[in-house]
């Protein structure tokens, strides 16, 4: 068997949608799981939709995600160029060959004629076949030559056989067959000389020795037309792996194609929203692929060994943001203390400007409680300055804290803590437990009162002694005294 080669061939039209990233990931894993190569190709023949900077977004996304391509415009390779707009002469050559063979033809239909044809076919009274009507399919050779000589604008269309069936086997969807009579004479070369996707990707996949094509399921029914192009050249077509749709679920439980109304749908947005790359890749790998075990946590290296495209489910995958959040929390806790500190520090700095605060202690406190990095600033708003708060915060049924017990707890805590020689979390914890014992109340009641006085909020990254330890003795006592003075 020849070496497995897959490709990711995005159009530079903007951000990297989750569906695009899954296509890239599955193509990458299909190659790497079989010791093959992964190619990057930029399909920029639709110049009207090209977005400045989009190519760099593609490079950056693949790099951050760890999907290293073996060939591509950024690293070269034996079958370049890997940008379609740099391959126009190649497409023209092969399109001309198809015309000479009788497998394609020049079409001189104007935009006005095609618009009128479309209008007629949209009529409820129209009974014929929709799509291009083959008007130029059988033009006499002399007429074609005269129109070409006169410089009449044209496109080149595929001449699809009008009878028979074209079939292929898809790894995900199984055997697929389409009657040739249902296929259109699609445009191969546009009037501006640029190829369409329908033609360019066939030429490129063959010349770049691609053995497996991974793409969205929207191409399942159109693939027979591509196979006819392969056959016209006498080429073997690649193995096809068409991926199921990714759906999103709204607050009401309605399911529809994943879009921005469901949440972040681009890789860049998810990174900015505080998700870790490893969590995103792990979760996306499971959007359609089943490892056939109960395992859920996979590094990219593990996926490279375990992935099998035969285990992709053809049913649409539901993107579950709560599940992604769970994955992200798991990966946050797997980080080393230094790794977490490096990732968390920019988010900590958004809320904490006080240089006297021990940022590493704060990071250690945060790591075990987070689901994503963007949750950090909201938990730290009280560190630089105590916010305004209501004394009602001192009331908590579960801890047995009341407006009557809180001032007693604060007064005794201040007395005991002022005499504390060693200001550590452990010493603080046992000191406050002693306060509770002396007052004859639950330790939780004292801890609650102290935490409210020290933070002025119920949303904190840790308990009372965690906060006191980080604030330091002087600031902590000032806040507790301020809390007591409020009664």
Residue 393, pLDDT > 90, answer yes
Return the H-helix or E-strand segment holding 187.
Answer: strand 187-189
Tell me whether residue 292 is one of the annotated catalytic residues: no
CB 109 within 8 A of CB 156: no
Domain ranges of the chain: 87-243, 247-333, 335-379, 391-485
Which ranges in 150-266 belong to alpha helices (H)?
Answer: 197-207, 223-233
What pLDDT was estimated at residue 263?
64
Q: Across-strand partners of 104?
A: 158
Alpha-carbon span 326 to 271, nearest angstrom: 15
Residue 7: name the closest of 79, 65, 92, 89 by CA.
79
From the CA atom positions of the chain, what is the Rg in Å? 32
Residue-wise burial string across 390-424, b where 16 or more C-beta atoms lie within 10 A, e elsewhere: eeebbbbeebebbeebbbbbbbbbbeebeeeeebe
Residue 452, pLDDT > 80, answer yes
Comparing 87-243 with 247-333, is the CATH topology the same? Answer: no
Residue 150: Cβ within 10 Å count: 8
Instruction: List Cβ neighbours of 100 (8 Å cut-off, separation of 6 or more).
Output: none
Return the CATH fold of 247-333: 1.10.1160
Domain 87-243 has CATH 3.40.50.620: yes
Residues present in the chain in total: 487
List phi, psi (to 5°) of 228: -65, -35
Catalytic member of 93, 257, 260, 305 = 260
Residue 229: name the closest of 201, 266, 259, 263 by CA.
201
Which tens digits make up the pLDDT trace of 94-151? Answer: 999 999 999 999 999 999 999 999 998 988 888 878 899 999 999 999 999 999 999 9
Q: Just give the CATH number of 391-485.
A: 1.10.10.350
Which tens digits make up the pLDDT trace of 261-288? Answer: 666 678 999 999 999 999 999 999 999 9
- Residue at token pair 């399942």: 220
What pLDDT was estimated at residue 152?
97
Residue 135: Cβ within 10 Å count: 14
List phi, psi (to 5°) of 247: -105, 155
What pLDDT was estimated at residue 129?
82
């Amino acid at each position: 068997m020849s070496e497995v080669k897959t490709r990711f061939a995005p159009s530079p039209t903007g951000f990297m949608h989750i569906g695009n990233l899954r296509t890239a990931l599955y193509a990458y894993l299909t190659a790497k799981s079989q010791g093959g190569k992964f190619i990057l190709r930029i399909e920029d023949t639709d110049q009207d939709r090209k977005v400045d900077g989009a190519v760099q977004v593609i490079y950056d996304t693949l790099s951050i995600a760890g999907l290293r391509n073996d060939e591509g415009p950024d690293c070269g390779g034996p079958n370049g160029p890997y940008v379609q707009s740099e391959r126009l002469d190649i497409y023209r050559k092969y399109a001309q060959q198809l015309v000479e063979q009788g497998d394609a033809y020049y079409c001189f239909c104007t935009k006005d004629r095609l618009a009128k044809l479309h209008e007629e076919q949209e009529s409820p009274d129209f009974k014929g076949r929709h799509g291009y009507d083959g008007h130029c399919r059988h033009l006499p050779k002399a007429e074609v030559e005269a129109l070409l000589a006169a410089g009449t604008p044209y496109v080149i269309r595929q001449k699809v056989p009008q009878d028979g069936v074209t079939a292929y086997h898809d790894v995900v969807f199984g055997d697929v067959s389409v009657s040739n009579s249902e296929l259109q004479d699609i445009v191969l070369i546009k009037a501006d000389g640029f190829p369409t996707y329908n033609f360019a990707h066939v030429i490129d996949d063959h010349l770049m020795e691609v053995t497996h094509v991974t793409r969205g399921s929207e191409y399942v029914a159109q693939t027979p037309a591509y196979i006819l192009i392969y056959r016209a050249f006498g080429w073997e077509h690649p193995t096809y792996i068409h991926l199921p749709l990714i759906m999103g679920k709204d607050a009401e439980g309605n399911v529809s194609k994943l879009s921005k109304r469901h949440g972040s749908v681009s890789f860049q947005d998810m990174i900015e929203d505080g998700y870790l790359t490893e969590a995103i890749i792990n979760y996306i790998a499971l959007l359609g692929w089943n490892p056939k075990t109960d395992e859920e946590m996979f590094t990219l290296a593990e996926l490279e060994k375990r992935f099998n495209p035969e285990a992709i489910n053809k049913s649409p995958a539901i993107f579950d943001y709560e599940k992604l959040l769970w994955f992200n929390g798991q990966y946050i806790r797997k980080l080393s203390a230094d790794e977490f500190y490096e990732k968390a520090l920019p988010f900590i700095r958004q809320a904490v400007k006080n240089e006297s605060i021990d940022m590493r202690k704060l990071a250690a406190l945060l790591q075990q409680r987070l689901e994503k990095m963007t949750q950090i600033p909201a938990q730290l708003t009280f560190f630089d300055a105590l916010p305004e708060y209501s004394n009602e915060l001192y009331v908590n049924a579960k801890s047995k804290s009341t407006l009557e017990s809180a001032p007693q707890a604060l007064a005794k805590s201040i007395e005991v803590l002022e005499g504390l020689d060693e200001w550590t979390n452990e010493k603080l914890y046992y000191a406050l437990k002693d306060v509770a014992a002396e007052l004859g109340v639950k330790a939780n009641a004292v801890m609650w009162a102290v935490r409210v006085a020290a933070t002025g909020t119920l949303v904190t990254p840790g308990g009372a002694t965690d906060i006191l330890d980080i604030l330091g003795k002087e600031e902590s006592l000032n806040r507790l005294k301020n809390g007591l003075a409020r009664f």
